[in-house]
Structure 1
Amino acid sequence: MIIELLSNQKELAVTCQDVVRLFFPDAEISLEHTEECELSLKAASYVDGSVIRGTAQLKEGGKFAAEQVSGDLESLPFPDDLRNHLKRLVKLALFRLLTKHTGQPAGPWGILTGIRPTKIVHRLLDAGWLPDSIEQYLTAAYEMSAEKAVLLTDTALRQRVYLLKGKEARELISVYIGIPFCPTRCAYCSFPSYSVENSASLVEPFVEALAGEIRAIGRAAGEMGRKVQTVYVGGGTPTVLDSEKMCRLLEVINDSLVSEATVEITLEAGRPDTVTMEKLRAAREQGVTRVSINPQTMNPVTLEVIGRRHSPHQVADAFAIARQAGFKTINMDVIAGLPGETAADVQQTLAAIAVFEPENLTVHTMAVKRASRINEAKDNFEISPPREVDKMLRLAHEAAGKMGMRPYYLYRQKNMVSPLENIGYARCGHDCIYNVQMIEERQTVIGLGGGAGSKFVEPGTWYLTSHYNPKDPETYIRRIDEIIALKVDKLRSFD
């Protein structure tokens, strides 16, 4: 299906694409007039004194419909933020128009299609709003369900204790370290990830280059009076490294980044088939406080379909090793919407995980990313329908509650199989602080290693600029001196 989406401002048309895709996920959207379109949409915004309006029009064959939403700018929160209010009203008009036209039930997140919806709540809390008023505003202004408004507000309230202000916001940073190697590439994966079997010759020079980047950034941060609050070693699969390389890397992290200000170090041991007692004991000795063991599903058939070589039994073994190694905070990831799975399959996975008694549970809604094998061969995978995925997330929420966990961070992604969310649950005292800082973007996060992204944040204004390392290990190794110099300069510019 071809849809034309026109506007009196190109920026509005670009913004409205996400709303159109809620109703027509597979449509081809043209932002210019085309005679080939089957559905024509027009969106516009207007300012008349203190009154602002968003309008949407629809034409399909002989059918014509229109919708308008208006507001008094002076009565809206942050009246100086005219640009974003106009965008919201236009999206709301279009959302209501397409809801009526298609007869589809409104999605639970309404027009809130952004990745970090908790930012809206934090901004309102900063302005002194009370939770009940925030929930009412979210449902009215974004057409969000009351259930999601409560979830979003509660999650943000739990995060407030971790958001830094004043001197702390300038002095404390977090560090992400990316290891872009895995035993195999999962069918849904779009992260920087290279098979360790096919890239074996690159592993040692990559570790050496990464160690150099860690040392250089550690020195630069120290010279500027910056201290590392949290470290997150992710990937890929960090534990795919052999014991010697992993221990060497952890020693460099400990020597270069860790101080009395460091309160959390996470190590992803996401693939249970890479976990050994030797590696996890070394991690504990080097100060790692949190480890993540990620089954994604406990269904052996699904594990084979998505290209993971471990078994449910290996998940249990890896978890037991982590406990024996002394870890008191263990996270487990599951994915709702994996190919061929039903809500009953997810319920079985959750029941199996509950036996382990983890402190964290992260529940992802599967996203079909362009770089994934699932996207490249869609006909070979049976994708779960949206209603089934919604059931899965409800079961996960209930299971997390029974395990004594509450939501502590939340984000969304593009191309989800259902327009829902990813949620991190945790028991009291076991929140992953890095996850909160990374999602809320109120702290500078320096990304080191393959494909790692850095976010340089100006405290107070929360102005952010991003910088990314090369994804390809060979390019990263070759350009490491240039990468280090650019990153040190960027860090100094935000001093």
Structure 2
Amino acid sequence: MIIELLSDNKELAVTGQDVVRLFYPDAEIRLVHAGECEITLKVAVYADGQFIEGAVELIKGGIFTAEQVTANMKSLPFPDDLRNNLKRLVKLALFRLLSKYTGQPAGPWGILTGIRPTKIVHRLLDEGWRPDCINQYLTTAYDMSKDKAELLIDIALRQRIYLLSEKEAGELISIYIGIPFCPTRCAYCSFPSYPVENGTKLIEPFLEALACEIKGIGKAVKAMGLKVQTIYVGGGTPTVLSSEKLLHLLDIINNSLVSEATVEITLEAGRPDTITIEKLKSAREQGVARVSINPQTTNPGTLEVIGRRHSVQQVADAVAMARLAGFNTINMDVIIGLPGETTADVENTMSAIAAFEPENLTVHTMAVKRASRIIEAKDHFKAAPAREVEKMLYIAQEAAVNMGMKPYYLYRQKNMVSPLENVGYTRSGHECVYNIQMIEERQTVIGLGGGAGSKFVKAGTWYLTSHYNPKDPDVYISRINEIIAMKVDKLRSFD
């Protein structure tokens, strides 16, 4: 299907695309008149200083359908933010018109198609809004369900004690370190990741370049009077490194980045088939307090389909080793909506997870990304229907509650198998501070290593710019001095 989405203001057409995809996920959307289309959507905005309006016309076969949404500027929480208010009204008019036209509800999140919906709640809390007023605003201004509004507010209130003041945000940063190697590449993966069997020759020079970056950024951070609050060693799979290489890396991290202000170091040990007691003991001795062991599912058939070469027993062994090594905070990830899985499969996985008694649980709704093998061979991977995925997510949510956990961070992704969310759950006192800072974007986070992203945040205004390291290890290695210099310049400009 071809759909035209037209406007005199191209920005309005661009911003409406995500709403159209909620109803027509496989359609080709054109932002210029082409003539060969099934549906034409025309969007416009009107403003007279007091009232603003978003308007949409749908034309099919010469028949017109229209929808308008009007707002009084004085009733809006941020009346000076005219541009974003107009974009919201256009999306709302599109959403309501297409809901009526297609006869299908587009999910509980309404027009909130962004990655970080909790940021809206934090902004309203900053303005002194009460939770009940925020709930009413979210359900009316974004057409989201009451349940999702309550979830956002609950998470935001739980996060508030971890958000930095303007002064703290000018003094504390976090660090992400990316190791872009894995035992194998999972079918759903879109992260920078290279099978270790094909990248053995790259590991040593990559680690040398990474050591230069860690030391260079560590030196600059100290010279600027900054301190590192949290460190997250992710990937890829960092535990694909040998015990000696992992210990050496963690030693460099400790000597270059860690200070009395560092409250948390996390190690992503996502693949149970890469975990040994020696690696875990070394990590614990180097100050790592939180480890992530990610089964994704405990159904052997699914593990084989998605390309994870580990057994359920290896997951159990990895958890036992982590406890033996002294870890008191273990995170486990699961993915809802994996190819071929049913609600019964999810129930089995959550039952197994409960037996492992982790302190953190991250529940992902599967997102089908362009860079994944699933999208390359989509005919061989059958995703569950959206309604079934909603049931699966509810099963995981109930399991987390039964394990004594509460939601503490949330984000969304494009191309999810159902327009839902990813939620991190935690037992009291085991919140991952890095996850909160990364999602809420009120702290500068410097990404080091392969494909790692950096977010430079201006304290107080929370103005943000992003930069990404090269994904290809060869390019990263060859450009390491340039990469370090760029980050130091960025840090100085935001200092």
Q: TM-score range by the shorter chain?
A: over 0.9
How far apart in 1 are the matches of 2:467 and 2:89? 32
Task: Summarize deviations over 1:56-104 as a string: whole Å, max 9, x none.
Answer: 1101114321000000111111110001110111100010000000000
How far apart in 2 are the matches of 1:398 and 1:132? 24
1:105 Cα deviation after fit = 1.8
Where 1:156 maps in the other structure, the secondary structure is helix
1:166 Cα deviation after fit = 2.6
1:7 maps to 7
Q: Which runs of 4+ in 1 moved over 2 A?
A: none
Task: Summarize deviations over 1:108-142 as a string: whole Å, max 9, x none.
Answer: 00000000000000000000001111011000000
2:443 maps to 443
2:102 maps to 102
State the AA in 2 paired with 1:436.
I
Contact 1:284–1:326 (Cα < 8 Å) also in 2: yes
1:264 Cα deviation after fit = 0.3
State the AA in 2 paired with 1:257.
L
How far apart in 2 are the matches of 1:424 and 1:49? 42
1:320 Cα deviation after fit = 0.5
State the AA in 2 paired with 1:20.
V
Alignment of 1:291-440 (within 5 A): 291-440=291-440
Alignment of 1:49 with 2:49, yes or no, is yes
State the AA in 2 paired with 1:245.
K
Contact 2:22–2:106 (Cα < 8 Å) also in 1: no
Alignment of 1:214 with 2:248, yes or no, is no
Alignment of 1:104-253 (within 5 A): 104-253=104-253
1:84 maps to 84
State the AA in 2 paired with 1:468.
Y
How far apart in 2 are the matches of 1:13 and 1:347? 42
Contact 2:23–2:106 (Cα < 8 Å) also in 1: no
1:8 Cα deviation after fit = 2.4
Contact 2:209–2:480 (Cα < 8 Å) also in 1: yes
1:494 Cα deviation after fit = 1.0
Where 1:191 maps in the other structure, the secondary structure is coil
State the AA in 2 paired with 1:393.
L
1:475 maps to 475
2:278 maps to 278
State the AA in 1 paired with 2:325.
A
How far apart in 2 are the matches of 1:426 and 1:414? 25
Where 1:310 maps in the other structure, the secondary structure is coil
How far apart in 2 are the matches of 1:132 and 1:290? 35
The percentage of counterpart residues that share the same residue type is 77
How far apart in 2 are the matches of 1:283 and 1:40? 58
Return 10-19 or 45-54, whichever deviates more: 45-54
State the AA in 1 paired with 2:372.
S
1:75 maps to 75
State the AA in 1 paired with 2:482.
E
2:28 maps to 28
1:233 Cα deviation after fit = 0.2
State the AA in 1 paired with 2:28.
E
Contact 2:4–2:41 (Cα < 8 Å) also in 1: yes
1:305 Cα deviation after fit = 0.2
State the AA in 2 paired with 1:118.
T
2:257 maps to 257
State the AA in 1 paired with 2:175.
V
Where 2:170 maps in the other structure, the secondary structure is helix
1:493 Cα deviation after fit = 1.2
State the AA in 2 paired with 1:75.
S
Task: Summarize deviations over 1:239-266 as a string: whole Å, max 9, x none.
Answer: 0000010000000001111010000000
State the AA in 2 paired with 1:122.
H
Return 437-446 or 40-49, whichever deviates more: 40-49
Task: Summarize deviations over 1:276-303 as a string: whole Å, max 9, x none.
Answer: 0000000000000100000000000000
Where 2:282 maps in the other structure, the secondary structure is helix
Contact 1:8–1:45 (Cα < 8 Å) also in 2: no
How far apart in 1 are the matches of 2:91 and 2:166? 35
Contact 2:55–2:90 (Cα < 8 Å) also in 1: yes
1:106 Cα deviation after fit = 3.7
TM-score by length of 1: 0.99
How far apart in 2 are the matches of 1:418 and 1:166? 37
Where 1:284 maps in the other structure, the secondary structure is helix
Where 1:244 maps in the other structure, the secondary structure is helix
RMSD: 0.6
Contact 1:3–1:37 (Cα < 8 Å) also in 2: yes
State the AA in 2 paired with 1:135.
N
Contact 1:121–1:156 (Cα < 8 Å) also in 2: yes
How far apart in 1 are the matches of 2:57 and 2:272? 52
Task: Summarize deviations over 1:149-181 as a string: whole Å, max 9, x none.
Answer: 000110011010110013211000000000000
Contact 2:232–2:434 (Cα < 8 Å) also in 1: yes
Task: Summarize deviations over 1:282-337 as a string: whole Å, max 9, x none.
Answer: 00000001000000000000000000000111000001100100000000000000
1:491 maps to 491
How far apart in 2 are the matches of 1:154 and 1:344? 29
How far apart in 1 are the matches of 2:158 and 2:120? 15
Give the total of aligned pairs.
495
1:385 Cα deviation after fit = 1.0
State the AA in 1 paired with 2:111.
I
1:465 maps to 465
Task: Summarize deviations over 1:196-246 as a string: whole Å, max 9, x none.
Answer: 000000001111110110011001000001000000000000000000100
How far apart in 2 are the matches of 1:468 and 1:309? 30
Gaps of 5+ in 2: none
State the AA in 2 paired with 1:464.
L
Contact 2:172–2:443 (Cα < 8 Å) also in 1: yes
